[in-house]
Chains A and B, each alone.
Chain A
Amino acid sequence: MSEGENTVAKTETKFPWSNYTLKLGRGEPVSTTQYVLYAVQIAAVIILSYLSVAVIPLSYAGISIFYFVYPFFLVFTMWWGAWGMLGAYVGCVVGAGVLVGTGPVPSIVYSISDLVPPLIAFVLYRGLLSKRGYDPLWRDLTDKEVAGVKTKRVGAWFWFILINGVILNIISAEIGVGVLYKFGLVATNGFWPFWIGWVVGDFVAMVIITPVLVKGLTSLVERQGLVNHGWIT
């Protein structure tokens, strides 16, 4: 093995999460259990999106002041790659759109706002931050060490808040409220109140729910061999 290949091999096995990459998968087809799981997780995101908008008071036209499905589809994307992103999009179209009466046409367009954050987060974590010592499954938010490797908790929280809570959240709000505004579902001078509601609602939900979800379930999902190695499997 040449020196260059040796360095790559060392980098790839440096962390316990090095097998979670941006490849398509492990070169095997989706198993029946995974196939069912991906369909059921989309159904779960649809229901949670619906409840986030329909049950929480002061929610309006697909915008919720506590959009508690946001951390779910972020975590699902970290676990299940493209299937989590599909869940985020379909969940928003059906659950936070059609089911609460936003109408199919605006729902199909404004749901792009829920597709973009998990897509970018997945690429950033699996492609960049995992190689810098940050767990793409976010266990470093709650655990001091993962499989014997000491985690960088402060850094993990910093990137988590900056990427998901600030940058992606702002992009998501900009797309979502912007589309609803263009479709005439948000009043002319109501853009900023809704924009702020969107950002705060997603941020609060993300900070409260993600650690609970990661702490309680990531190990279980990984132990059962259900975490995707790449985008598809």
Chain B
Amino acid sequence: MSETDVKARASKKYVRTFIFSMRTGTPIEKLHVVTKVFMIVVLSTLTLYMFDIPVSRGGPDFIGLGLLLVLVFSLLAISRTAKYLVNSYLVLSIPVILAQFFWWLFFSESLPGAKMTFYLWPGFFPIGVSTLVFVGTFVLVYFKTRSITVSLAPAVLLWWFTIMPSVLAHSSLATWIKFPLGGTYSFSLPQWSAYIGFAKALGYAILIYTSFLFLLTTRDVEIGGALRQLRVSFRKAFFVMLMFRNLNTILLDYESIRMAQIARASSVIRSGILSRMKDLAYVSIPLVATMIRRSTEMGVALYARGFEASKGMTNYKETKRLSGVDYSIMALLIAFLIYEVILGHSITTLFGR
């Protein structure tokens, strides 16, 4: 890399990543893309293992999962990309994580352990942690959306979830004042259903935020550079680069076509689910036609620049070398993987359940 290139790169404060952008100079930005890929693969493997430990072997590794979640959020904070996650996908991911919890709560096969009571309505109106959850959620969502209806729905839902478990409803720590109101409506489930549901939700959150960590802190060009370092031919590396570079363009094309469709009142004229599906089908023609036109133009441009005849291409200037930090992180991850998956230890049992 020439001195001018180094200076140009150092003067850049932000660089474009797969989604949004990332501040340069953070420890995560300096990591090699191979380390990042290795990290998400190991974290995902650990998560899948930790939340699937059978009840007969002590059940999911809750503390281990909790530590992984803290680790992922810490890495997001260090990379200074957490704000993008909060502004975009954090709220969207919460229903998915809650859905995971409820699926496992109600669709698990019969599990051992004492029955736990859940209230549809506990027979009193509680003031306590549930109130804080309601107010906190309402304020947070209202601050983002400025809509009372939109803020009220998740606030009520989360408030209801916090009054459902009998342990919370009757705990003096969680419920400070009770106002008798109506009858009690409840159902019982094995204690392990709730534990496993919680572990699955925690694990799914790790999988989601680990993926975002990678997408928020990785540049497409880094992948091209890493492939060249791995001695993949230029044509193959450039193919992968083309693929990733066009993601954003196609998403923009899709949005533009959808907007054009809405401008032609498609969403007003058609209201049924089937009609909306048909609308989606009609997006496909302009989308694919645009894709073909763009490819032809890019193909001609590449041809005109002598792409087919090119030999001995220079490497991408974003190519990095694996540093001591990269090797240390990979070694730590391997050690953690051996400890948990191969030796079968659990962080939860280390601290004692």
Name A residues whose Cβ lies closer than 8 Å to a Cβ of B.
31-44, 46-48, 51, 54, 60-61, 66, 68, 72, 90, 98-106, 183-190, 193, 204-205, 208-209, 212-213, 216-217, 220-221, 224, 226
Q: Is the interface of B mostly helix, strand, loop or mixed?
A: helix
**B291 close to A40 (CB less than 8 A):** yes
B145 interface residue (CB < 8 Å to A): no
**B277 close to A66 (CB less than 8 A):** yes
Query: Beyond A103-B40, A105-B48, A204-B277: 9 further Cβ-contacts under 8 Å?
Result: A32-B308, A33-B299, A36-B298, A40-B295, A43-B250, A46-B247, A104-B37, A187-B103, A209-B281
Known: A101-B212, A187-B104. A47 touches B278 (CB 8 A): no
**A47 close to B247 (CB less than 8 A):** yes
Question: Closest A-chain residue to B99, C-beta based?
Answer: A60
**A32 close to B307 (CB less than 8 A):** yes
Question: How far apart are B340's CB and chain A's nearest CB, in angstroms?
Answer: 15
B109 interface residue (CB < 8 Å to A): yes
Question: How far apart are A22's CB and chain B's nearest CB, in angstroms?
Answer: 24
Please name all residues of chain B whose beta carbon is closer than 8 Å to the beta carbon of A220 when the two chains form the complex: 289, 292
Q: Is the interface of A mostly helix, strand, loop or mixed?
A: helix
Report the tally of A-B residue pairs with Cβ distances under 8 A.
167
Please name all residues of chain B whose beta carbon is closer than 8 Å to the beta carbon of A51 when the two chains form the complex: 254
CA A102 to CA B281, docked complex, whole Å: 26
Closest 5 CB pairs of A and B: A101-B208, A33-B299, A187-B107, A39-B242, A103-B44
CA A162 to CA B52, docked complex, whole Å: 37
CA A54 to CA B250, docked complex, whole Å: 16
A41, A46, A184, A216: which contacts B52 (Cβ < 8 A)?
Answer: A184
**A101 close to B243 (CB less than 8 A):** no
CA A29 to CA B303, docked complex, whole Å: 14
**B103 close to A190 (CB less than 8 A):** yes
CA A60 to CA B52, docked complex, whole Å: 19
B207 interface residue (CB < 8 Å to A): yes
Size class of B's contact patch?
35 or more
Please name all residues of chain B whose beta carbon is closer than 8 Å to the beta carbon of A221 when the two chains form the complex: 292
B287 interface residue (CB < 8 Å to A): yes
Question: Closest B-chain residue to A87, C-beta based?
Answer: B243
Question: How far apart are B8's CB and chain A's nearest CB, in angstroms?
Answer: 27
**A103 close to B299 (CB less than 8 A):** no
Please name all residues of chain B whose beta carbon is closer than 8 Å to the beta carbon of A32 when the two chains form the complex: 299-300, 302-303, 307-308
14 residue pairs of the A-B complex, CB under 8 angstroms, read: A33-B296, A33-B299, A40-B250, A43-B243, A51-B254, A98-B211, A99-B215, A103-B47, A104-B40, A106-B48, A184-B200, A209-B280, A212-B285, A213-B285
B20 interface residue (CB < 8 Å to A): no
CA A161 to CA B204, docked complex, whole Å: 35
CA A217 to CA B106, docked complex, whole Å: 46
Please name all residues of chain A whose beta carbon is closer than 8 Å to the beta carbon of B51 when the two chains form the complex: 184
Please name all residues of chain B whose beta carbon is closer than 8 Å to the beta carbon of A68 when the two chains form the complex: 277, 280-281
A40, A184, A217: which contacts B246 (Cβ < 8 A)?
Answer: A40
**B41 close to A47 (CB less than 8 A):** no
CA A89 to CA B295, docked complex, whole Å: 21
B210 interface residue (CB < 8 Å to A): yes
Known: A47-B254, A103-B48, A212-B285. A188 touches B239 (CB 8 A): no
Question: How far apart are B225's CB and chain A's nearest CB, in angstroms?
Answer: 17
**A40 close to B287 (CB less than 8 A):** no
**A183 close to B48 (CB less than 8 A):** yes
Known: A47-B254, A104-B40, A188-B109. A33 touches B300 (CB 8 A): yes
Interface residues of B in 187-214 (CB under 8 A from A): 200, 204, 207-212, 214
Question: Closest A-chain residue to B212, C-beta based?
Answer: A101
CA A37 to CA B295, docked complex, whole Å: 5
B260 interface residue (CB < 8 Å to A): no
